[in-house]
Amino acid sequence: MTETDRELTGNLFASLVPFRFLATASMLRLVREISVRDFRAGETVIEQGASAPDSVFVLLAGSAESLDVSRTPAFRVNVIEAGAVFGERSCVLDMPQALRVSALDDARCIEIPGDSFRRLFSESPPFSQAFAQKLREGRGAFEAFDAFRNEVVRAVGLGHLEIRRLVELYKKLEPALHPHGNEDSVIDFGALDYAARRLPDNVERVFVFLLTDDLPVVYTSPDLLFPFVHSDSRNRFVYEMLEGKNMVLIRSGLSDLMDFVSCLCLFAVETRKIRYKLNHPDAVLALANRVRLDPAARGDDDAFMATLPFSEEERRGLKRVWPEGTVDRLRNVVFHRQVYSVDIRKQTNNYNGRLSERWTAQVGDAARVLLGVSPADFPEDFGVHIISSNTHSVSNCLNPFFPEHGAGILDWAEHEGIRTSGWTVGADELYHLSRGFFKAFPEQRRVFYDTEREWGIMRLPDTVTTGISVQLVDVSKVCMRPIDPGIRSGSCDARSLIVNIDYAFGEQAEEIMKNLLILFGRNVASINVLGKAGALTGRRGDVLLPGSFVEQVSDSFLPVAGVEDEEQVGRIEALLPGRTAHRGPMLTVEGTLLQNRPMLNFYRRLWGCIGLEMEGIWYLRAIIESEQLGVLKPGAARRFLYYVSDLPLDRSSNLSEPLSPAEGVPPLYAITREVLSGILGSGR
């Protein structure tokens, strides 16, 4: 590279976004690392669909053109002039180049090595943010996501959505959780299993869905009118109004709606592949005849399954998705064709307020029953600690049943031969084994619940169709008996209340948190969010400790005040040998299936995000707003802790595969102990 080229490059960078935001030292280092390449007219600089070279180009002199060579004849999309940056798709987003770039006339290009370019993101936040804005707004990095979301928003306005229309937009998303979605010859059983477990159990028999965020007045007692339809891995309220028509109660905001329709799109994509496998008159007739047989004469379906045009691996996949009634499900898939019509009755102005208000009133009434005083009359020094977690880890840690009966559970497991080695914390194994113990001895589960009630833990199973169950804990009673030995409980005699709520879903979290903060007001001493998340760094079973949140739809950014606890990482890692606790920004996404590799690489590299989840920023927004409005007293502690459940950027990781007990139980209980120690050990 000549001195003239260096001078031209330096002058160009000084005036070119995002390079102009680099400090002088960074600029000089970059200039030393680049090279200059000459291209003759018509010569290709970057090929369409290429993922190499791992470089970013800047046109220094001459001109070039971007071409879509997938069309005949090749279509010129744009003319590229000096100063333009291109080639960033494979370097930054890990995706193939969208277009071919060729020299129009003799051209000179600066070639920046990928490692050098990516280093600038961590070296210079202004460079990173300027490039992120350029990539998102000027290059349409999230074009597929925006098109899908806009179609759903349009459908909300119209009150109706055709899944067949939405499926084509969904396939362009290429979700990380659905890696084989666009491969017509490959049935993605991992993705299909994920969607099937989150959709109503009768999804392959339903043609019409009524999605509503509030019950119509005439259906205020749906359990008395319609059969309830189970959803295995989503806490949904679904009712079969007629054969072929379901009513589904969806949560506030767009998150739950986006989740439902994206799962429905995935289901339609994969069942279409199954239907094509069975696209022969003999196979269809065999299925129909098999289903007509009397159950007594039908016997085992495995031998019949072997006659269908599936490989052995595909048959295993089908049994995994539908362990029961596999043949009947296949028959339904063949005749249904997955042509779904979705009616949407969504109150976009009040966001389901009536249901959440009834839920909040129920929580307030229960607190009065438990403590003998209404929340509005709590003494000024009485602390309320809100925890968003799950329905078991907090109560398990606080219930004296386990310290008092743990030896018996371990003896039973030893006798059954189901104990495993490798548990660093003995109580973790105990909690894991308790599920099987209670199944074997149902009467002991009743003892467990009786012990809870006796020592100040009250459950509210009725969720008023919010899907959020609640546990209230009178701390003064709990701390009179032994609790989990890993909890630091220096101030355990403090009179306070723990309100443990099940996970909210997406935007619903903001509304739920606002209502709780209004209910308990200035008595709220801490807000604690424990969850599971996908990681953009580390491995499954690690812990993520966000210091800020980025909301994916708008790129709004909110810091978490008061999380500068330098000892927290050490405490958690001491409980989890071999695991790592990561600090950094966390991405809040609108839907689990609405994330693809380019999007995740964008936030990993340009924003430094360590992971992604669905509720964090919505909780945080409610907290900040309540504090600014004087509803929440200043200085209330806030803790956000997540354990890693999947690695969406790891191509070798099966994203739909649940964590094994050894992977999931220790980090869940480590962050639970950290939160409870903060509440009981410091009173905050």
At 316-364, the pLDDT tens digits run 999 999 999 999 999 999 999 888 999 998 764 444 446 788 889 999 9
The model's pLDDT over 92-150, given as tens digits with 9 standing for 90+, comes to 988 888 899 999 999 999 999 999 999 999 999 999 999 999 888 766 678 899 999 99
The model's pLDDT over 429-442, given as tens digits with 9 standing for 90+, comes to 999 999 999 999 99
The model's pLDDT over 516-544, given as tens digits with 9 standing for 90+, comes to 999 999 999 999 999 999 999 999 999 99
List the alpha helices (DSSP H) in 494-639: 508-520, 566-575, 597-606, 616-628
Of the chain, the percentage scoring pLDDT greater than 70 comes to 95
CA separation, residue 12 to residues 30, 135, 290, 316 (Å): 13, 19, 73, 59
pLDDT of residue 466: 75
Which of 491-500, 604-613, 663-672 bottoms out in mean pLDDT, i.e. has the lowest?
491-500
pLDDT of residue 53: 72
What three-state secondary structure class fits 249?
strand
pLDDT of residue 478: 87
Instruction: Give the confidence band of 567 by pLDDT, cuts at 50, 70, 90.
Output: confident
455-457-462-468 Cα dihedral, nearest 10 degrees: -160
Which of 93-97, 268-272, 470-474, 602-606 bottoms out in mean pLDDT, i.e. has the lowest?
93-97
Mean pLDDT, residues 255-280 taken together: 95
Question: Domain 3-119, what fold?
Answer: Jelly Rolls (2.60.120)
Q: Which of 553, 612, 605 is nearest to 588 (CA)?
A: 612
CA atoms within 13 A on the CB side of 336: 23
Domain with CATH 3.40.50.1580 in the chain: 384-389+467-682
Work out the angle between the directed axes of helices 255-277 and 143-158 (0-180°, nearest 10). 100
Amino acid at 26: S
pLDDT of residue 500: 97
Mean pLDDT, residues 70-81 taken together: 93
pLDDT of 684 strictly over 60: no
Burial of 211: CB neighbours in 10 Å, binned 0-12, 13-18, 19+: buried
Q: Is the alpha carbon torsion for 423, 425, 429, 432 positive or negative? A: negative
DSSP category for residue 419: -
Domain with CATH 2.60.120.10 in the chain: 3-119
Q: Which of 363, 371, 427 is nearest to 399 (CA)?
A: 427
pLDDT of 182 strictly over 80: yes
Alpha carbon distance 82, 97 (integer Å): 20
Instruction: Give the confidence band of 295 by pLDDT, cuts at 50, 70, 90.
Output: confident
> Is residue 403 within 8 Å of residue 517, measured between CB atoms?
no
Q: Which of 671, 670, 376, 661 is nearest to 529 (CA)?
A: 671
Which residues have a Cβ under 8 Å from the Cβ of 499 and sit 6 or more positions away?
363, 367, 384, 385, 386, 387, 470, 471, 472, 473, 516, 520
Tokens of 359: 């839920």
pLDDT of residue 683: 46
Alpha carbon distance 594, 142 (integer Å): 11
Alpha carbon distance 206, 335 (integer Å): 12
pLDDT of residue 653: 66
Q: 562 or 198, which is more confident?
A: 198
- Tell me the pLDDT of the chain averaged across its residues: 91
Instruction: Give the confidence band of 481 by pLDDT, cuts at 50, 70, 90.
Output: confident
Q: Which CATH number fits domain 384-389+467-682: 3.40.50.261, 3.40.47.10, 3.40.50.1580, 3.40.50.300?
A: 3.40.50.1580
The model's pLDDT over 218-233, given as tens digits with 9 standing for 90+, comes to 888 898 999 999 999 8
> Is residue 565 within 8 Å of residue 635, measured between CB atoms?
no
Tokens of 377: 């009359």
Tokens of 340: 């779904």
pLDDT of 485 strictly over 70: yes
DSSP category for residue 217: G
> Is residue 428 within 8 Å of residue 666, measured between CB atoms?
yes
Buried b (16+ CB within 10 A) or exposed e, 597-632: bbbbbbbbbbbbbbbbbbbbbbbbbbbbebbeeebb
